[in-house]
Chain A
C-alpha cells in the first residue's frame, strides 16, 4: 500500500547516491620520516598501533620500520617471518645487488617468506592498509610501502550453525571471517568458474564484501545488477549484512524477505549451483543469496538429503504450516463470531461452551494471547539459554493453565495459538517467520471487521502483494505466479533428484542443463 501511495505522490526520484569520497590521492614521500609524519597523528592517539623501527641486517645503514595494529596480526608470523627475516636472516649479497631503487622489491622477493604482499604508494592507501589490518614495511629512500597480509588474531572457530540446524547436512557454519567463509565455499565447490569478486562497503567500517557466483551459470544481468547496487552504497558503516540486504531490495514496503540468508556453506553451494548469486560480508556469519523466491523460504536442505517420499511429506507439511501460521487465528475468529453455521454443529457447541465464561470478545481474547506469545518469543530470543527456558516454562503455565482457570482465555484459543506458534516455527527461515508473525496480526484484524470476507480479502491482497514483488528483477512468486509448470516438481513437490535434469526455469541462468542425459 505504501509503495502505491509513493507512486501516487510521484516520489520516484532516483536516490542521490554518491561515490565514496575520494580524497586527494597524494603520493608518498621517499624518506622514512615523511611517512612517519603521516602516521604520527594516528600513532600518538592509538596505543594499539605499533611503529617499530628496525635495522635490516643486509643493509644496516638504511633505516626501516614495521607498522602494524596489535591484535589484528598473527604475532607468531610477524616475529618469525618479518622481524626475524629482516633483522637476522636477510642476505647482504642479494639485497645490495642491482639498483638501490629496487630495494623494496628485493625485500619482498628475497626476505619476506609470506604470500600476500602488495606495494602501496599513496597516502590514503597506506593509511587504509594499516587500518585494514595489514602490516606495513617501509624503508628510507623508497616512495613505496609494502603492505603484508598476516592478519590473524583471535577468531571464532567454525561451529555448528546455531539457527539453521540440520539433521543430515553438514555441521559446519559460517563464521565472522570472510576469508574463512570463502574457503568453506571453495572447498565444497572446486569449479574454476566460481568467481569471487571483492569490494569494500562503508566509508568508515570498510567492511569487506564478496560477491560469489558461478560464471557460466549465473545470469550476467543479475550479477551486474547486484554489483552495481553494492557499489552504489555510500554509507559510513555497516555492522552486519542486513544493511546490504536493505540497500539491495527493490520493494522496501514489504514484510517479506527478498533475499535468502543462510549460515550454512552446503546450502550456499546448492544455491550457487542453481545460478544464484551469494553475497558475503566480513563480520557476519550469514550469507545473502539472491534472487530469492517465495517458495525457497519454505524449503529446507534436508528436502534434498532425504528420500523423496519422506521429503515431499515434510515439504507439504511445511506449506500447511505456512497457511496455518498466517490464517488459523483469523479463521477461528471469523468462524466463531461471523459464520458459526459453516463448521460442524458439535464442534461449534464445544467451542462456544469453552468460551462461555470468558468476558472478552473473541478478537480481544485472540489478541491478548497473540501478544503474550509474541513477547515470550521475543524474550526467549535474547535471554541466555537457561533463563530463557525458565521464562518459557513460566509463560507456558501462565498461558496454559492459569489463564484458563481464571477464565481469561478459553482452552480453544490456547490450542489455536499454540498450533499457530508451532506452525510458524516450522518454517525453515527466520526472516519468513518474522514476516508471518506480522501478517498474521493483519489477518486477525481483517477478519475481526469483515469475517470470512475479510479473510478472503486478506488472502487476495497477500497474493497480489506477493505477485507484485521482485527479487533482483526475478518475479518473487514464481513458479506460482507467473506459473512455471516445469518448476513445480522442485517447489510444490520435490522430484527425484535423477529426474531434475535442468535448473529451475524461474531463475534466469546461462546454462540450464544440470545432469547428463544418461542418468536414471
Chain B
C-alpha cells in the first residue's frame, strides 16, 4: 500500500481537528447557543467542550492499546471480519450524512449571501467536486491544506474580533453569575453540533508519524477550537446581545456587514473571498477519513480504488445534500447530527474499549 500518501505530522493533526470542527457552524453558533443559554452562552461553549474532550481521550486511550492502530484493522481484530466491517460502514455512513448536512448548510449560506439566483444543486455540485479533487490527492495533501488554510482562518477571526471590539459593548455580557443551569445545559447540547468533527481522530490516528504526540496535538486542536468558539460567541453577544442575536440566521456574517471602509467597501468582501476555504474543510477531512476507512475495511488497493471510493462518497454526499427541502430542515438535521456525533464519538470508543478489555488484546 502506498502509505506515504497518507502520512501526516502531529502538527497537521492539530489543524485537521480544528479544520473539521470550525466551519459553517461557527456562523450561526452565537444565535443557536444564546437562544438557550442567554447571555451566558460563552459558558455553554466551555461546558459543551466536555463532549469532544471526552471523545479525544477515549479514542486515544483505545487506539493506544494497538500496535497497528488503523481503525479498520482495530475493528476487524475486535469484532471479526463481518461485524467489524459493518461498524466501519456505519461510521462511513455517519460521516457521509454529516458531510451532506455541512455541504447543504454551506450551500445555503452561499446562496443567501453570494449567489441568490443560482440553484442549490449547482453550488453543491461544484463544491462536492472540488472536495473530491482535494481528497483524491490523499491525506498528506489534506494535512498540508488544513495547515495552510488555518492561517487564512486567522484572517477571518481577526476581522471578526476587530468588528466586535469596535461595534460591541461588554455590557451585553453582564451580569455574570446567576446562571440559568437548565438553559446552560440545553445550550451545551446545542453546541455539540459545532464540535462534531473530532471523531476523524479515529481514522487519522494511524496516519500520524509520531504516535507519542497525538494526544497532545488533539488536545491543542480542541483547545484552539474552544478558543475560537469562545471568541465568536463573546463577540456575537457583545455586538447584538443575546436577544438581538435571534434576529439573524448567521449573525457572524451580519456582523461583518457593519464596518465600512471607503476603499474596500464592506469587510464582508474579504470574508467571502476566503469563504470556500473556510467552509469545505470539514467535508474534506471527513470525506478523506470515510474514504480511507472504507478502502481499508475491504483491504482494497489504494492506487486503484481510492479515487473511485472518494468519488463514490462524493456522490453520496451530493445526493444526500439535496434531500432537505428548506433551511429549517437543514437546521433540524444539524441538531440530529449533533446527537449522532455524541453517539459515534463517545459510543464507538466506549464500545471498542469495552470489547478490547474483555478480549484482553493488549499486546496486539
Contacts and interface: CB of A to CB of B under 8 A. Distances in A.
A463 B148 contact: yes
10 contacts: A10-B304, A338-B115, A339-B269, A341-B265, A342-B272, A450-B126, A457-B127, A460-B277, A461-B133, A464-B133
What 7 pairs between A and B have smallest CB-CB spacing?
A481-B148, A456-B276, A7-B307, A481-B144, A468-B137, A343-B265, A460-B276
A451 B115 contact: yes
- What size tier do the contact residues of chain A reach? 20 to 34
B280 A452 contact: no
Interface of A: 1, 4, 7-8, 10, 12, 338-339, 341-344, 347, 450-457, 459-461, 463-464, 467-468, 475, 477, 480-483
Contacts of B114: 338-339, 451-453
A1 B269 contact: no
Interface in B151-192: 151
A7 B118 contact: no
B303 A456 contact: no
Given A342-B266, A463-B145, A464-B145, A456 B136 contact: no
Interface residues of B, number: 43
A477 B145 CA distance: 10
Summarize A's interface: helix, strand, loop or mixed. Answer: helix
A324 to B, nearest CB: 14
Contacts of B308: 8
A8 B307 contact: yes
A467 B268 contact: no
Given A7-B306, A8-B311, A456 B269 contact: no
B123 interface: yes
B123 A450 contact: yes
B305 to A, nearest CB: 9
A7 B144 contact: no
Nearest to B111: A453
Nearest to B130: A461
B150 to A, nearest CB: 9
Contacts of A483: 147-148, 151
Given A450-B123, A453-B272, A456-B277, 14 more contacts: A12-B304, A342-B265, A342-B266, A343-B265, A453-B123, A456-B272, A456-B273, A457-B130, A459-B273, A460-B134, A460-B276, A463-B145, A463-B149, A480-B148
A4 B110 CA distance: 27
B322 interface: no
B262 interface: yes
Contacts of B266: 341-342
B328 interface: no
A509 B311 CA distance: 38
B76 to A, nearest CB: 26
A480 B12 CA distance: 13
Given A344-B265, A455-B273, A464 B141 contact: yes
Contacts of A10: 303-304
A464 B137 contact: yes
A481 B277 CA distance: 14
